[in-house]
Amino acid sequence: MKVQITLTRSLIGRKPNQVKTAHALGLHKINQVVVHEKNDAINGMINTISHLVLIEEV
């Protein structure tokens, strides 16, 4: 199963671990969309920045 992740909030002023997590997912700009295979590692990254992203299952 795949999950579509959209960055909806700015990374400016966020904690460094949240910024690095977003960049590791491939999110750099607001409204940027990436698709990843759903697994434990991706779920943990989504939980770290859940307040900054919109998640949809594909």
CATH of domain 2-57: 3.30.1390.20
Global pTM value = 0.93
In tens, the pLDDT along 8-34 reads: 999 999 999 999 999 999 999 999 999
DSSP notation for 11-37: -TT--HHHHHHHHHHT--STT-EEEEE
Please tell me the distance from the alpha carbon of residue 46 to that of residue 52, in angstroms, as a whole number: 9
pLDDT value for 32: 98
Domain boundaries of the chain, sorted by first residue: 2-57
Residue 15: its pLDDT value, please? 97
pLDDT of residue 4: 98
